[in-house]
Structures are given as C-alpha cells and as structure tokens.
Chain A
Amino acid sequence: MALDQSFVGRSYPPTDPYEVGREKIREFAVAVGDANPVYTDPEAAKAHGHADVIAPPTFVFAITFKAAGQVVADPQLGLDYSRVVHGDQKFAYSRPVRAGDRLSVTSTIEAVKSLAGNDIIDIRGEVHDETGEHVVTAWTKLVSRAPEEA
C-alpha cells in the first residue's frame, strides 16, 4: 500500500519528558556487556568532565523510537507495522545523555517513499533537555517489506 505523501514534513508534538535514571543506564550498560565506569560510577564520569554518569551512545534510541511510535501508529499514514524492519539508524550528539536528564522528543517525518513495493519512511527525532538545550538528533529509517506474492 502506497503511503500518503502529504505526511512528508509533518511534525508531532513534543513528548512528555523521559527522566533518565542512573539505574536504567546501569541496566542498559550491563545488558550490552559494557563495563566502562563512566556509565555506572559518578566519580569516573566526573573525571571525564561529565556532571553525572552518562549513557551509552545508543541508549537514547529507546526514547526516540517510542516517540516515533506515534508516527508509525498514525492510521492515516497507512504503514503496515507488522512488516516493518529497521533500515538505517544515525545519531548526532550535542552532548551525551546523562542521569538526571528530562528528555523530550519532537518527531518529524523527513521522507516517505515506495521502492519495489517496500514502503520506506525516514523519521527525525530531535531530543532536548528540560532547559531546551539540544542533546541529540536521531534519524531512523523504517522499511515495511512488500507482501509476498500469493
């Protein structure tokens, strides 16, 4: 099913703040097997100039992808989520995410395409902290695979 092209450029309202906790960062770092002490020890983080423990680079995806959920679930867009795979992912950081951040995401649809029956959507998530400072931008490409021929 072709996606509605009029969605290109559409932005969604900022999400309610996600509060980044030290223990959630620790849980994530343990899950990816990364023992870097800047993720778990505030003193080690301070030694690198960070106000508190920081999160691994890909941690923020959980927050931006949840925000993107309001886009992909928009029934007007017509995306078949059961056939969606993750195509590309990119992050550009102004600073690392750290414990104590209250992060809000503004999602924008950058592109909508159909290629060889696959529906492709590019979503940009701008992540700001509680002071309005930019923290990171996440670009996510989702591909809804064409149904197999009957």
Chain B
Amino acid sequence: MAAQIKYADVEVGTELPAASFPVTRATLVQYAGASGDFNPIHWNEKFAKEVGLPDVIAHGMFTMAEAIRVVTDWVGDPGAVVEYGVRFTKPVVVPNDDRGGLIEVTAKVAAKLDDNRVRVDLTAMSAGQKVLGMSRAVVALA
C-alpha cells in the first residue's frame, strides 16, 4: 500500500476534497455494459415507471463507485481502502435531458484507528436528497 496522506497529518474532522459526479443515460448504459447489470430500471423509462419509480435511476453500485473516488483520489492508492460499506437510501434519478443527474459527495475523517488506519464518513447527495446512508470507509494511511 502506498497512501500519499500521512496518518500524523490528519485529525478527526479533517475534510477530504469534495467532488461532484454527473450521471446521464449514456453513463448508465456504459456502466451496465461494464458491470453486467442490465436491469431495465437503469435504462428503460417505461419499465422504470411501470414498477413505480419516478424515472430511470442510477445503479446503486454506480453511486457507490463514485462516492469512494473522493477517498481514493485523496489517498492516491485505491489499494489503501481496507473496508467500504453503504446503505442505499434513495435512488439517484436520471432524467432524459442534456444534464441528467448529479451525485455530490463530501467526506471527513470520523475516527483515527490503530495501525495508521482512519475511518472516513461519506455523504452522497442527489437532487437535495441523501442517496447513501451509513457510508463509511476504513483507509490505511502512510
């Protein structure tokens, strides 16, 4: 592991650089192909509405993949991530327009653990709603 952030340089409350991730219908089609998850709720508006959704929604695993980028961009080496967990609380709705949806992610150090590890708590919002809950990562720092 080769994290670029030193354990000694962070404290509880240290904020990681925030980031926003746009998601369009094209993004979801590409993610479906790469992940093998072809559930039509992620690309077929008619189907999504028939099963009671407001519109096409992003794959929960896509949102989970974007949120951890705030952590991996911070530490440099994604191999430093020791644990990562989320609860899917609300869907990320992706309208069929030029802009699509936006996932806004903030994160801060919530605890300093043994062995140069820290717990980072993440917040992911879309359209003013919290889309991930209990979103936490444990990262090994230098």
Contacts and interface: CB of A to CB of B under 8 A. Distances in A.
Q: Bound pair: A and B?
A: yes
Interface of A: 27-28, 30-34, 36, 38-39, 47-50, 54, 56-58, 61-62, 65-66, 85-93, 95-96, 139
18 contacts: A27-B33, A32-B34, A32-B69, A33-B27, A36-B72, A36-B73, A36-B78, A48-B1, A54-B78, A56-B78, A58-B64, A58-B68, A61-B35, A62-B35, A62-B36, A88-B134, A91-B83, A93-B82
Nearest to A24: B34
B84 A91 contact: yes
Main SS at interface, chain A: mixed
A3 to B, nearest CB: 20
Contacts of A49: 1-2, 79
A41 B98 CA distance: 32
A52 B69 CA distance: 20
B2 A31 contact: no
* Residue of A27, A30, A58, A87 with highest tally of chain B CB at under 10 A: A58
